[in-house]
Amino acid sequence: MQNNINKFPDGFLWGGAVAANQCEGAYNEDGKGLSTQDIAPRGIMGAITEEPTEDNMKLIGIDFYHRYKEDIKLFAEMGFKTFRTSIAWSRIFPNGDDVEPNEKGLQFYDNLFDECLKYGIEPLVTISHYETPLELSKNYDGWVNRKLIGFFENYARTIFTRYKNKVKYWLTFNEINSATHFPYMSAGIWTPKEQLSKQDLYQAMHHELVASALAVKIGHEINPEFKIGCMVLGIPNYPLTPKPSDVLKAMEQDRVNLFFGDVHARGEYPRYMNRFFKENNIEIKMEPGDKEILKHTVDFISFSYYMSACATGDPEKDIRGKGNLIGGVPNPYLKASDWGWQIDPQGLRYILNQFYDRYQKPLFIVENGLGAFDELITDENGNKTVNDDYRIQYLNDHLVQVAEAIEDGVELWGYTTWGCIDLVSASTAELRKRYGFIYVDRHDDGTGTLERYKKKSFYWYKEVISTNGKSLINNN
């Protein structure tokens, strides 16, 4: 049944998203330093190595560093209005604490943004997406050390100044809340998670929150037109049953994540954290001026959404399933993806409303998509392609719920699907987990030509964009 969905506002920013470390490759070219990802060949699933190793798929990625022109041309063909990528911090400051930036790194992003702008594609840039310079991790213990605020400030100031006429939309830290679960990947913390105290973890988070607010402040000084947002991993928690203890547990688990958006949007720590800090013997060390810096709130809230989860106050039932880094208790009413992430389109409408009710700031969905096994086939015209109807259905159903949320009154600036071109996954560092509209011929054993092929979903998304969402089908 076609419902003629006519809810997306004019100027809605349709597009796709990637991160430097998952697609660029060229891990040691043109003066780039190592990042935490270059020695993590299994993502969060395995140990880090002493040096980069050949089995680390991210070292070559999909070779976006050399093929970005071809790829952006394909994005333009789909009609992208925006393209989200990140800047690899270690391309700009190879060790993180260098005083002078690496000109070749800066030039690469100049070329990349120029290529986007050539097609009228607005760059949406994440400043730090799981790619802390390795030296900052090893020598300073990542964000545990307050000195990182200064290094980050220098980095942010450098890129804001350099790209002030090319980039308008910025995100500070990717999925900042994930650091409480994966401190190495998300916050470059070298101390193993089992040995990391809650005190140090939340102190590190304080440093990131101050750095993020500082970036908002200096960004607006450099160009008042900048729109600077935070980025949180969105995963709403439903009570497993209507039992009051389950409802309260869901509230508590939501707050573990909402805390980060709360500080970014309201400019101060929420009062509910006082109890959490007290019960966990955490005392955040604030320096004079920190509270004032935090007052520089973001212009918008961006988030990733792949799944919802359930929460229960009953320890015997609190058995966590698989999921996007954080996960939760599986919902008996939902099916899951090939990787066990539960699929819940209505959860996206729910979280959009939750964020908007809470903050009354514009929202931006900067990640949503289906990681699946794809089979490359040859069609009747002799073209290689993938019949990814499952991906089309996933995205269609989520976008129908986005339209509902807009109708609910949510102010939404845009939507970028995750991994608009196949890339290396973050959690498992695999290539066989594919998200893209564009198939990349590269495999986990290192084979493949790196050729690009358009999937069926490529043409589907092109139609969605050109009709501003009117081609979506409401199956409910």
What is the nearest approach in angstroms of ligand BG6 to the Cβ of residue 409?
Answer: 27
CB-nearer residue toward ligand BG6: 233 or 472: 233
Please tell me the distance from the alpha carbon of residue 127 to that of residue 8, in angstroms, as a whole number. Answer: 28
| Binding pattern for the stretch 154-183 against ligand BG6, x by CB under 6 A and - elsewhere | --------------------xx--------
Q: Are 90 and 128 in contact (CB under 8 A)?
A: no
Q: Which of 115, 367, 404, 430 is catalytic?
A: 367
What is the nearest approach in angstroms of ligand BG6 to the Cβ of residue 301?
Answer: 15
| Binding pattern for the stretch 28-57 against ligand BG6, x by CB under 6 A and - elsewhere | ------------------------------
What is the nearest approach in angstroms of ligand BG6 to the Cβ of residue 173?
Answer: 10
The candidate with the shortest Cα–Cα distance to 354, out of 408, 400, 417, is 408
Question: What is the helix, strand, coil percentage profile of the chain, to 5?
Answer: 40, 15, 45
CB-nearer residue toward ligand BG6: 171 or 210: 171
What is the nearest approach in angstroms of ligand BG6 to the Cβ of residue 324?
Answer: 5
Alpha helices in 88-146 (DSSP H): 89-92, 103-118, 134-140
DSSP 163-199: TTTT--EEEEETTGGGGGT-HHHHH---S-GGG--HH
Alpha helices in 322-373 (DSSP H): 345-359
What is the nearest approach in angstroms of ligand BG6 to the Cβ of residue 176?
Answer: 11
Among 19, 60, 78, 159, binds ligand BG6 (CB under 6 A): 19
CB-nearer residue toward ligand BG6: 343 or 406: 343
CB-nearer residue toward ligand BG6: 226 or 418: 418
Residue type, 20: A
The footprint of ligand BG6 on residues 56-115 (CB under 6 A) is none
Please tell me the distance from the alpha carbon of residue 3 to that of residue 475, in angstroms, as a whole number. Answer: 9
Residue 308 touching ligand BG6 (CB under 6 A): no
Please confirm, yes or no, whether 367 is among the known catalytic residues.
yes
The footprint of ligand BG6 on residues 358-417 (CB under 6 A) is 367, 371
CB-nearer residue toward ligand BG6: 145 or 427: 427
CA–CA distances in Å: residue 281 to residues 11, 259, 278: 48, 18, 5
Among 85, 186, 237, 304, binds ligand BG6 (CB under 6 A): 304
Q: Are 238 and 250 in contact (CB under 8 A)?
A: yes
Please tell me the distance from the alpha carbon of residue 344 to that of residue 331, in angstroms, as a whole number. Answer: 10
CB-nearer residue toward ligand BG6: 175 or 404: 175
The candidate with the shortest Cα–Cα distance to 434, out of 446, 445, 420, 413, is 420
Any bridge partners for residue 412, and if so which?
363
Residue labelled with tokens 């789909």: 78
What is the nearest approach in angstroms of ligand BG6 to the Cβ of residue 35?
Answer: 13
Q: Are 36 and 188 in contact (CB under 8 A)?
A: yes
Query: How far is C-alpha 390 from the geometric centre of its chain's CA atoms?
Result: 22
The footprint of ligand BG6 on residues 415-454 (CB under 6 A) is 418, 425-428, 433
Among 102, 132, 203, 324, binds ligand BG6 (CB under 6 A): 324
CB-nearer residue toward ligand BG6: 102 or 427: 427
Residues touching ligand BG6, count (CB under 6 A):
15
Among 40, 325, 386, 421, binds ligand BG6 (CB under 6 A): 325
Any bridge partners for residue 416, and if so which?
15
Q: Are 421 and 74 in contact (CB under 8 A)?
A: yes
What is the nearest approach in angstroms of ligand BG6 to the Cβ of residue 83?
Answer: 15
**Which residues are known to be catalytic?**
367
Residues near ligand BG6 (CB under 6 A): 19, 22, 174-175, 304, 324-325, 367, 371, 418, 425-428, 433
